[in-house]
Amino acid sequence: MYVQTQQGRIEIHEGMNQIWIEAWGPDAVRVRMTQEAEMDPREWALSEPVPSVETRIESKKIDVTDPWYHGPEWERYHVQGTVYRLVNGKIIAEVNEEGWITFYNQKGEVLLREYWRNRDRVNRYAVPIMIPARELKPVPGTSDYALTARFEADDREKIFGMGQYQMAQFDKKGTVLELEHRNAQASVPFYVSNLGYGFLWNNPAIGTVTFAANKTEWRIPSTKKMDYWIVAGDTPADIEYRYSAVTGRTPKMPDYGMGFWQCKLRYRTQEEVLEVAREHKRRGLPMDVIVVDFFHWKFQGEWDFDPDYFPDPEAMVKELKSMGIETVVSIWPNVDERSSNYHYMQEHGYLMRTDRGSAIGGTGWMGPNTCFDPTHPGARRFVFEQAKKHYMSKGIHIFWLDEAEPEIGPYELDNWRYYAGPSAQVTNLYPKEYARGFYEGLKESGRDDIMSLVRCAWAGSQKYGVLTWSGDIHSSWRGFREQIQAGLSMGMAGIPWWTCDLGGFIGGWPEDEGFRELLARWFAWGCFLPVFRLHGERSPWYEREIKLGQDGVQILSSGQPNEVWSYGDKVYDIMCRYLFLREKLKPYIKQITDQAAETGAPIIRPLFFDFPEDPKAWEDCKAHMFGPDLLVSPVTEPDVDHWNVYLPAGTDWIESATGRIYTGGQEVSAYAPLDTIPVFIRDGADVEVY
């Protein structure tokens, strides 16, 4: 093993292993490892141009007393020889004589250290269990490798981000996470540590990460290289700013994104869509967007309206626009073998393929189909051109990109193959490339107000105007509570535009008083999300039907009612209150969404984002900030009229419902009857609530 410096980077060589450590944007370092003859050039999430930065590489022969060396006490008395150091602003990457890597901040404090339990070759330090920090093991019979990367654990550490998982834990320390997308699960492998760094696992392969008490371990069964990026920052805001600069920032939110979105599973006909919009306007209620959900088409893969149920969609869109309402249509990636596009796409390599068995029937629902391959540039262009021909020509420019994981049943991910490579190595790119095709197509068509509702995301998806929602979640108090940490985790993972199905998707009986209470609480919280969208399948299922239409195509009936007037007068009055409050908040929402576009700051964010000096702010995820000035604490339990809320130290807080002023740094009992969500305004802020 030997260490050398060249081309502005530190390189570690041992046999076929080569590791590159180099500056990658201000205060940040990228680390890559391969056993191939050449380093894999793919940038994955690190897609943005990196500005040149002033760095220096130092090396020095050290002994046990040298204060220049930052190593731990146990190491100082054993490791000698030459130590290399790359200094880039606030981050220092240090490599000792053994090739062990440690990252420090500008104060010399350890941020992250590789986990080595080898006997060192220079001083024969006795740790004989022979566990290395990084391994690329060849997979027999292939040209691929199994990767493991290990880092030392720190008892003080808290970890936030990593995307969207349906779980109770906001702090991911102590959890095991799949690096894999599923319905309601989005793996976005970037996290922010309370120790003052951010970490991107820059690899779209399937695997797991374990943030254990004794070590952190990333495992990938099939890949070509190790690739990660680490940045030092004094605050979470600094870290998000640097991260979004190298992976891409979200665009500015279009005006239509800031209002109310009406949606349900599903409006079966053109007339049903128009009747709901007309009724909203007759009642004097605001609505910015209405959604035409799935199976408005004849065959999956047609990406067009079924004329039997939507005889004049152009007239429908025109009438909706006259009411100030934009139309969104659902796009699925599935392509039915009976559709007019299937054979062309199959012949041109635009569809996902399998290594074993038939691709037909392995994906999707209601018909023999497979999915298109968005990692193929030609496939991305083709699908968007169909949408342009059949939807944009009728005045529709907002798309709901559903099934974006993609949803494969069963999840035999080793069996699928893409243009970009084997599914096991690249499948987490799917939602990002799916959104990319529509973003680039809309841009080329002259649109700047781009927002696509997408059921998944990966690192960097935000740059393509992705509004991620949390998938088919359950209509329950537990489901509600889990969405708070899911939304905050997505924001900390760099995805600022996030929402969920208000009231949950699966279940929820409109006549049930318990569900009505849940929906009232959930809807109130929706007013303080980046996008305010009502959706759900709603029970009972037995009143719906699946039948055969023309050509033997399965047809769904209309969904159960899911309009604001569908849940009784009491809940209707509450929902109306928040519809109008959302309108009142639009100037503030524009400010905070513009901030997200300029700095990468999450729109909903944990208390510690704005109050990093308050230790208790790092403990709390019951409440969150909506931009810098509003603290929101959704009521997530039934039968409550007061709700305990922690107010961060450093400012006074005004309870919006009562006008009472509280000093920060304490927990208070907030006024919280059914029609009131606790909201506190930072003292001095120019925003009004209620």
Q: What's at 275, amino acid-wise?
A: E
CA 450 to chain centroid, in Å, comes to 18
How far, in whole angstroms, is CA 637 from its chain's centroid? 26
Q: How many residues does the chain have?
A: 690
The question of whether 639 is a catalytic residue gets the answer no
3-state secondary structure of 356: coil
- List 114, 238, 405, 517, catalytic entry: 405
Specify whether the CB–CB gap between 673 and 640 falls below 8 A: no
Strand pairing partners for 10? 5, 21
Give the DSSP letter of residue 234: S
Residue 155: is it exposed, middle or buried by C-beta count within 10 angstroms (0-12/13-18/19+)?
A: exposed
Bridge partners (DSSP) listed for residue 292 = 329
Q: Give the separation between CA 591 and CA 530, rounded to whole angstroms.
A: 12
Q: Which of 402, 403, 407, 610 is catalytic?
A: 402
User: Would residue 511 show up in a list of annotated catalytic residues for this protein?
Assistant: no
Number of Cβ within a 10 Å radius of residue 440 = 16
* 8 A C-beta contact, residue 368 and residue 300: no
Cβ neighbour number for residue 60 with a 10 Å cutoff: 12
Q: Are 336 and 304 in contact (CB under 8 A)?
A: no
Chain centroid to CA 238: 19
Query: Alpha-carbon distance 229 to 196, whole Å?
Result: 14
Contacts of 216 (CB under 8 A, 6+ apart): 115, 150, 151, 152, 153, 209, 210
Pairing of strands 630-632, 679-682: antiparallel
Catalytic residue status for 402: yes
Question: If you search the block for the tokens 């990093």, which residue do you land on?
Answer: 612
Using only C-alpha atoms, the chain has a radius of gyration, in whole angstroms, of 26
DSSP, residue by residue, 244-274? HHHH----PPPGGGGSEEE--S---SHHHHH
| 207 DSSP β-pair partners | 179
Structure-block tokens of residue 581: 């409050």
Residues 6+ apart with CB under 8 A from 335: 300, 301, 341, 342, 345, 351, 369, 370, 371, 372
Beta-bridged to residue 101, according to DSSP, are: 95
Cite the DSSP H helix spans in 64-177: 73-76
Question: 567: which strand partners?
Answer: none
User: 10 Å Cβ neighbour count for 394?
Assistant: 18
| Closest-CA residue to 524 (of 473, 606, 467, 579) | 579
Across 373-497, the runs of DSSP E, i.e. the strands, are 398-401, 416-418, 421-422, 452-454, 466-469
Distances in Å between the alpha carbon of 356 and those of 175, 343, 415? Answer: 34, 20, 6
Q: CA–CA separation, 386 vs 402, rounded Å? A: 16
Residues 6+ apart with CB under 8 A from 253: 451, 497, 530, 589, 590, 593, 594, 596, 597
Q: Which residue has tokens 């004794």?
A: 214
Q: Which of 472, 583, 652, 675 is catalytic?
A: 472
Task: Please list the active-site residues.
Answer: 402, 405, 472
